[in-house]
Structure 1
C-alpha cells in the first residue's frame, strides 16, 4: 500500500514525471528497496589510503508530522521541540555509552570553526534559497550536534533536515564506516518509536527529505580522494557518469577541488538500496585509483574507461 504524503500525492501529476526524469526512469509504480545490512557490502576495507583521505556515509531524515526547517511556517517552537527530542534520545542512547552533546548556541566561535574545518559541523546558512525559506531565522538557537568520543558517528539536529546521521573517519576503510552508520541509524529509529515518533517514509518514495533529489535513501556515501592527474583528464566527467558517481570540492556543493582532491560520491538516491549505493562508491573508487596510477606512469587509460552502469 502506498502511504500518502503531500505534496507528492496531492500534486502527483506534476511530480511523477519530474521524479522519473530526476531518478533515472523511476516510475510511479516502482517501490523503493531498502537494505541497511552492512554485512552485504563486499570489500571496501582496502581503499588505498595514499589516495583516499577519508570515507563517509551520511543521510538526512525527516520526522513525520514535524514541519521542514525550510518551510516558512516552521516555528521556533518546532525547532525547539526537535532539539529537546534529540537531547532525550541521546540520554537514552546505549551504543556506545558516552556521547557529548554540543548546542550550537553554547559553543565559542573558535569551537564552531574547528568543527567546521574538521567537516564535523554545518556552517550558518548563507544560500539565498535557504535564507528566503526562513531556515536561518532562529540561528543559532536550536541546531545541535552530538557525536561519539572518536567522532566516527555524528548526528546533526535542525540543519537542512530534521536529523542528519553521519559516519566518517580518515582513510579508506568503508567497511568500518558503513556499519557505524547502519547500526546508529537503527538505534535512532528504535528510540524514536519508543517515544511515538517515526521517520517520514513510504514504500514508493522511501525516506522523504526536503529536496526531491534526496528521496529514497537520502544517502551520500563518499570519499575525499586525491586525483591530480585523472581530475584534469578529459575523460574524467565521462568516467564518473558511467560509474554513477559525482564529484565536488571538499568544501561541499559548488566548491572547487583543491590540490587535486575531490569528494566523490554516489549520484543516485532513489531506486537503489543503501548497500547498493555504497557498493557503487567502493567499486568505482577502486577503478579511479587504478586510472590515477596509470596516469602517474604516463600510460594511457582508454582500456579502463568503463561501460555505462
Structure 2
C-alpha cells in the first residue's frame, strides 16, 4: 500500500440497503411487520451476534453507538420499531426497520475495500437465505429512497485530510471527486461536520452500476485524494515551517498536560499530534491509537467508559483531559 494511503485512511465501510418482499417499507409498516423482519434476520445471525431494541437503550449507550458508527441518528430518533444486530467485535452491524428493513454494514480498520466487501457479501448471502429480498430485474434491489436503488450499496473510506483542510485546497478536490461519481461528507455522513479533519469518501450512484464498479470508483477517488493530501502536507510544511512545528508541539503540550479539555479541544490536539507523527516531529508507538482516542473522547463514549460519575460538563472536561493525557504520554514523545 502507498505511504499516502497508510497515513490518511482510518477505516473502510460497506453498507447494503435491503427490504423484504411483501412487507411495507418501515414508514408504513406495523409492529407485526417489524417483528417479522427482526425474526428473519435474527434467525440468520445467531452465534457471535446480539440484538438491541433501540427504544430500550439508555441515552448514553445509544449515543455511544451513534458515535461509533454502529447505528444512525435516524434509527435513534425516528424509528419506533428500530433494532440493531451487532457482532461481538462490532465490525458488523445490521440496522433493522430504519429507512429500509435491513441496513447491513461492515467497518474494518484501514484501507480494505475488497476485504470489507467480501465480508458484506457473505453477510448478505447469509441473511438472504432466511429472508427473501425485494428485487426487480429492471431496478435491482428495491429501497425506500430511489437514490439507493440498484445495488443498494454504499462503499466509503474514512480519510484524514488535515493539510487539504488547513490550506483550503479541499474545495478544489471536492469538485474533482464529483466527476468521479463519488462525494465527500463529514464524519457522520451527509450534512455532518468533518471532526478532526476526518471525512468520508463514498459513491453517489447505486443504480446502473455494479458492485465492482462502485469499488473501483471509490478506490480511485480515495487514492487520488490521499495523493493530493500527501502533496499538500509537503507544501504546508514548506510554507509554514517553524510555525507549523510550533503549533504541533503546542498541541502535544495540550494533549499531554491539560487538566481540562472540551471535546473540540481534545479532537484538535489529538489530530495535530497525529499530523506531527507523519512529519516525524512526534514519535508514536501505536499509529492506530490516536484514531481510537478520537472516539473515546466523544461525549457518550466518554461517559460510558468513565470510572466515576460525570455530573457536569466540567467533570467531563477533567475526565477527558485525564484520558487524553494518560494515552498520549504512553504512546507519544516529541523528537526534539
1:114 alignment partner in structure 2:
64
CA distance in 1, matches of 2:2, 2:53: 34
2:32 alignment partner in structure 1:
77
Contact 1:45 1:176 in 2 (8 A): no
5 Å matches for 1:1-309? 48-71=5-28, 74-91=29-46, 97-124=47-74, 136=79, 139=80, 142-192=81-131, 198-231=132-165, 232-233=168-169, 234-298=171-235
What's the TM-score once normalised by structure 2's chain length?
A: 0.64
Instruction: Tell me the matched-pair count.
Output: 233
CA distance in 2, matches of 1:238, 1:201: 33
Which protein shows a greater Rg?
2
Shift in Å, 1:45: 10
Change (3 A) 1:111 1:259: closer
2:300 alignment partner in structure 1:
none
**CA RMSD, Structure 1 to Structure 2 (Å):** 2.3
Shift in Å, 1:119: 0.6
Change (3 A) 1:124 1:57: closer
What secondary structure is seen at the aligned counterpart in 1 of 2:195? coil
Which structure 2 residue ranges, 5 or more long, are not aligned? Answer: 237-336
Contact 1:217 1:269 in 2 (8 A): yes
Shift in Å, 1:242: 2.0
Contact 1:46 1:173 in 2 (8 A): no
CA distance in 2, matches of 1:89, 1:116: 24
Runs of 4+ in 1 over 6 A off after TM superposition: 44-47
CA distance in 2, matches of 1:258, 1:49: 19
CA distance in 1, matches of 2:3, 2:208: 27
Greater alpha carbon shift after TM alignment, 208-217 vs 106-115: 106-115
Change (3 A) 1:45 1:275: farther
CA distance in 2, matches of 1:210, 1:265: 20
1:14 alignment partner in structure 2:
none
CA distance in 2, matches of 1:180, 1:159: 22
CA distance in 2, matches of 1:266, 1:259: 22
What's the TM-score once normalised by structure 1's chain length?
A: 0.69
Change (3 A) 1:114 1:205: same
Cα displacement string for residues 25-75 of structure 1 (whole angstroms, at most 9, x for unaligned residues): xxxxxxxxxxxxxxxxxxx8988232111110002101111001123xx22
CA distance in 2, matches of 1:115, 1:103: 12
Greater alpha carbon shift after TM alignment, 155-164 vs 275-284: 275-284
Q: Which has the higher helix share?
A: 2
